[in-house]
Each structure stands twice: as C-alpha cells, then as structure tokens.
Structure 1
Amino acid sequence: MLNPGGYALVLDPTIIAPQRTCKFSRVLVDGGSSINILLRDTLAKLGLAAKDLEPTWTIFHGIVPGLSCSPIGRIRLDVLFGDSSHFRREPIWFEVVDLSSAYHALLGRPTLAKFMAPPHCAYLKTKLSGPKGLITVTGDYRKSLECARDGAKLAESLVIAEERCQTGSSPWPKKRRPR
C-alpha cells in the first residue's frame, strides 16, 4: 500500500432482500457514522421500491456539506460477510436516501457493533466471529482509490451544477439565431 491509513475501507458484503440477493462491491465502512445508509439505486438493484420502506424520522448532516438530509424511509435487510463455507449474517437497519454516491451503501457504527467487527483502516480489514471461528474481511486500496476518484468527480459536478443554478447561467453556450 502506498499510503497506509489514507484509504477508505471499502468492502463487498452480500445484502439480502426478499426479492433478490446481491453482492455489492462498493460499500463504505465508516466508523464515524451513527447510521447505516442505503442509496435509492441500491434499493432498486435489490428489487425493492419506496413502497417497501417504513417511515423514518431521522435527519442527518455531513453527507451534503452544509445541508441536512432526510431519508425517504428505512428498511431492515440482512447483511452477510464471508463465503459459502464460512459466513455470518445479521439483520441491519438502513436509512434510504435519494442521493448520488460513488458507493452502494454505507455501514456505520450500528453495523460494526452488531457484527462486533472493529475496522482496521491501516490494513483495510475487519475481523468478525463466525460459526467456524474468525472471518477476516479485506478491502482493496485500488477500489478505495477508485471510489474516492468517482466521489470527487461527482462532488465537483454537483458543486458546478449548484453554482450555475444560483447564478442562473446555463452550462451550455447560448445558441445564436440566424437573422
């Protein structure tokens, strides 16, 4: 690793919904977050819709700088770490948001506590107990860099779009009409 401790822990858990089970490759583990977040696009990939959500009264800050965000609902889904021969599965509550992100989901402190899985950011690993002993879940610094790059591009495009909305200018040059 080029910069130990400088990469986000991005894992690939399996998320299980009643209609579909998917292994997601871009799930951010954030020990600073007090909630778990699922993106609306991820919800759709699991074969779920807004009608499948329960109401929520959660409001959180920090996703969009300077603004608060209200989820569109919440849902309890099973999250699985490990492989077919040795795994652990736990039900996790997610706040579902209608935002764009480089990630499919964010697993915060509630998930880390449920799995009793302390993250190790320098090694991009977490360990959790399973029925046959310890399960080591490893991230990939290349995936972390890719997500950071995609997230920066997305943030830049959102800032540019917001600035244009505030100034009333269009991103497209004005067309001149022939006389």
Structure 2
Amino acid sequence: MTKLGLEAKELEPTRTIFHGIVPGLSCSLIGRIQLDVLFGDSNHFRREPIWFEVVDLSSACHALMGRPALAKFMAVPHYAYLKMKLLGPKGLITVTGDYRKSLECARDGAKLA
C-alpha cells in the first residue's frame, strides 16, 4: 500500500474472508478500498472505479481483478495470448501482457506455495 501512497486509515472495514489463496488456510482482509483503474494511453483510455480487497500476505501478485471488474469494463481476456480487449470512447483498447513477467509471477507463486 505504501508504494501506492495509501495509508491503512483509508481502508474501509470488511468482514470478507478469502479461502484457497494460501493452500489449506483462510485469509482475513485488513480492509477494502475503491481505486480508479485506467486502461489505454493519454489519447484513448477507459477509467472505472474498482473495489479492491486488501490482504496482508506474501504473494507473487500485487492485484487481482476478478469477474466484477472485468464485467464493469466489459473486458474480454484471452489468457493464452496475454491480451485483454475492452471498448473505449474511440474504439477498441487492447491491453497486452508480458510473457516474461507472467512466467516470473508463476515461478514466484510456486515458490510461495
């Protein structure tokens, strides 16, 4: 959170519990926060406020966007190609992932498990 310039006092309380993130354990959240998520560039972008659940644990991922966020953007992800497409004000926006980062994340996640 500190890398984003956020403080714990900005989090809203929540009683949500995650199951299955850490194998065999449940994980309580420390709060939730609504942040603007932006896809595209300065000339053609789409921005939506998304709720994020905040957890204090070691993970290879920094943020996960689930079905509600993808539905809000009306995004279509293609996991094999590491691409996501969504409509913007000037047409289609394509977000392209990085295969090296994806492999690093998967490797780091396996180490943590």
Give the shorter-chain TM-score range: over 0.9
Q: Which protein, 1 or 2, shows the higher relative CO under an 8 Å CA cutoff with sep ≥ 6? A: 1
Please, which runs of 5 or more residues in structure 2 have no aligned partner? none
Q: Tell me the equivalent position of 1:142.
A: 100
Instruction: Pick from 51, 54, 79 the counterpart of residue 96 of structure 1.
Output: 54
Structure number having the greater strand percentage: 2
2:110 corresponds to 1:152: yes
Aligned length: 113
Runs of 4+ deviating beyond 4 Å: none
Larger Rg: 1
Q: Tell me the equivalent position of 1:84.
A: 42
TM-score, normalised to structure 2, is 0.94
TM-score, normalised to structure 1, is 0.61
Query: How much identity, in percent, do the aligned residues show?
Result: 87
2:88 corresponds to 1:130: yes
Q: Tell me the equivalent position of 1:67.
A: 25
Please, which runs of 5 or more residues in structure 1 have no aligned partner? 1-42, 156-179
Please report how far the alpha carbon of residue 102 of structure 1 lies from its aligned counterpart in structure 2 after TM superposition: 1.2
SS of 1:64's equivalent in the other structure is coil
RMSD across aligned positions (CA): 1.0
Distance in 2 (alpha carbons) for counterparts of 1:105 and 1:113: 17
Please report how far the alpha carbon of residue 57 of structure 1 lies from its aligned counterpart in structure 2 after TM superposition: 1.4
Instruction: Pick from 105, 114, 121 the counterpart of residue 79 of structure 2.
Output: 121
Please report how far the alpha carbon of residue 44 of structure 1 lies from its aligned counterpart in structure 2 after TM superposition: 1.3
